[in-house]
Structure 1
Amino acid sequence: MSKKYPVIAVTGSSGAGTSTVKSSFEHIFRREHLNAAVVEGDSFHRYDREAMKLAVADSEKSGGRPISHFGPEANEFEKLETLFKEYGETGSGERRLYLHNEEEAAPYNQKPGTFTPWQLITPGTDLLFYEGLHGGVKSETADVAKYVDLLVGVVPIVNLEWIQKIYRDTEARGYSAEAVTHTILRRMHDYVHYITPQFSRTHVNFQRVPTVDTSNPFIARDIPSLDESMVVIRFQNHRGVDFPYLLNMIKDSFVSRPNTIVVPGGKMGMAIELILTPLILDIVAKSKQ
């Protein structure tokens, strides 16, 4: 882990809600006047959109284990590890953007689903902030988690994760429910071996648990709201966590285990900022000493 140039990563599966946590981090950075170098996990995919479709089709035709965006075959884990390591040592490193749609692609005069060229991070940032699938991943060839100073997991229970995935891909992206279900099954091996293990390495985990029936995610017609959920927050090291303060600040919260606090879903953003702000400020303060 770095001392002088901190690396902070939010990791979570596709559809898990990492974007909500990213917004909370942005509030913290803005309020505390911190200049963050932002890195998106999608920019470390190995293939652009069209090439990925071909790679998936080829892997399925071969009869072997199909590749997915969750696993090492479709990602540049080594480059992500190198970025975290180099940033921790120098405050710079190479990053690029993945252009998701027409709006993002237009300024670069490129097609959606492609990457911008690799560029060095401009020196002078206070920290690196990563949000994506693999902030704490380990594989046979890379150990990304080794170079992260604060690793935050966002992991709803799996049925809720699938509901969010199915709803997003059918409503916003036009896929059929059958196609999305096929994708979930295709990437299950990589989910078990490369996504789930990260949440045993996180310093803080936020797990959203619905309080409504999600027993069959494949027929669900809507996503349970935050107000229909509780959030289970687990600390890797609970020593130093001011649980009485959190319980006083977050109405209807309670401690379920010595290292775990449960808060109403509608208070998730507030909990994130209350919990993570002092951790971030402590890391940054130490880096400036």
Structure 2
Amino acid sequence: MSIKHPIVAVTGSSGSGTTTVMNSFQHIFRREKLKAQIVEGDAFHRHDRVAMRIAMKEAEEKRQQFSHFGPAANVLDRLEDLFRQYGATGKGRVRKYVHDETEALQYDAEPGTFTPWSDVEPDTDLLFYEGLHGGFVGHGIDVAQHADLLVGVVPIINLEWIQKLHRDKTLRGYSQEAVMDTILRRMPDYAHYICPQFSRTHVNFQRVPTVDTSNPFTARDIPSADESFVVIRFANPKGIDFPYLLTMLQDSFMSRPNVIVVPGGKMGLAMQLIFTPMILKMIDRQQRAA
């Protein structure tokens, strides 16, 4: 953890909604005029798209567990190196995974490949990571220890699957069978490497639908924000102004001394109210140290 060069990490599995959280943080960064180094977890995959398919086929032939959720398919030592070096010096090396044709034009690289490693932007106020492994610990690697603020995004599992099915089918053109195969193949790594991270987070956001999601593979629509609640758990509730949050977030309530439940449509507002003071406190400590 670092006073001079703070790190915010948002961790969650594919389809969990970490991008929504990233957008909320970016609103805070713009409003408070903070320069953030954005880091996407996909950049730390070990293989590009073609090589990953080959590696998965080889793993299947050997009956070995292998997926993007597990450490074998990622360079998590480089992720920890980035967090460690940035926290100490504000420097480090990053790259970008090119997802689609739009990004291919922007980065002059083929979709499914990586840009070259390069230095982080100079003179940033903080580093912001969004991806699968912001709270990873294992195999001699401890990414979580370097995060000043670690946030988990964890929809209940059926909702997570519905979101992934709709995203991958609609935006990426995969068949339902292909998405289901991916979900099943990843489950052991999900249990061993993704779930444990949510016991290390400082704040967890878990979206719970209020409509029937008992069969996620036949759901026609993703439950809307107004058809859900968000359960927000604080690892350490000391310093959290719960009376203020209850006043500002209409129809919210406390379910435990460290848990507040808010209507799904107010998730963005809740993030602004919770994280803005935390970010400003980080920057205040940073300025005092300087």
Superposition TM-score, scaled by structure 1 size: 0.98
- 1:11-50 residue pairs with structure 2 within 5 A? 11-50=11-50
The residue aligned with 1:282 is 281
- 1:103-118 residue pairs with structure 2 within 5 A? 103-118=102-117
Q: Deviations over 1:204-253 (max 9, x none)?
A: 11100000000111111110011100000000100111011000001000
The residue aligned with 2:271 is 272
* 1:122 Cα deviation from its structure 2 partner: 2.7
The residue aligned with 2:145 is 146
For 1:283 and 1:109, how far apart are their aligned partners in 2?
36
Pair 1:178-2:177 in alignment = yes
Decide whether aligned partners of structure 1 residues 245 and 86 sit closer, same or farther in structure 2, where only a CA change above 3 A counts: same
* 1:108 Cα deviation from its structure 2 partner: 3.2
The residue aligned with 2:55 is 55
The residue aligned with 1:221 is 220
Structure 2's unaligned 5+ residue stretches are: none
Q: Deviations over 1:142-184 (max 9, x none)?
A: 1000100000111100010011111111122121111111111
For 1:168 and 1:193, how far apart are their aligned partners in 2?
24
Match of 2:138, SS state, is coil
More deviation in 118-127 or 223-232? 118-127
For 1:223 and 1:103, how far apart are their aligned partners in 2?
25
For 1:44 and 1:253, how far apart are their aligned partners in 2?
38
* 1:283 Cα deviation from its structure 2 partner: 1.3
* 1:61 Cα deviation from its structure 2 partner: 0.9
Superposition TM-score, scaled by structure 2 size: 0.98
RMSD, aligned α-carbons: 0.8
Deviating above 2 A after TM superposition, structure 1's stretches of 4 or more consecutive aligned residues are none
One-letter amino acid matched to 1:228: E
The residue aligned with 2:64 is 64
For 2:132 and 2:224, how far apart are their aligned partners in 1?
22
The residue aligned with 2:229 is 230
For 1:245 and 1:180, how far apart are their aligned partners in 2?
42
For 2:280 and 2:236, how far apart are their aligned partners in 1?
17
* 1:107 Cα deviation from its structure 2 partner: 3.2
One-letter amino acid matched to 1:247: L
* 1:22 Cα deviation from its structure 2 partner: 0.6
Structure 1's unaligned 5+ residue stretches are: none
For 1:256 and 1:71, how far apart are their aligned partners in 2?
33
Size of the aligned set, in residue pairs, is: 288
The residue aligned with 1:88 is 87
The residue aligned with 2:167 is 168
Q: Deviations over 1:73-97 (max 9, x none)?
A: 1101100000000000000100000
One-letter amino acid matched to 1:180: V
* 1:109 Cα deviation from its structure 2 partner: 2.7
One-letter amino acid matched to 2:24: S
One-letter amino acid matched to 2:141: A
Match of 1:98, SS state, is coil
The residue aligned with 2:4 is 4
For 1:22 and 1:260, how far apart are their aligned partners in 2?
22
The residue aligned with 2:259 is 260
For 2:101 and 2:274, how far apart are their aligned partners in 1?
36
For 1:260 and 1:49, how far apart are their aligned partners in 2?
40
One-letter amino acid matched to 2:199: S
The residue aligned with 1:98 is 97
One-letter amino acid matched to 2:97: Y
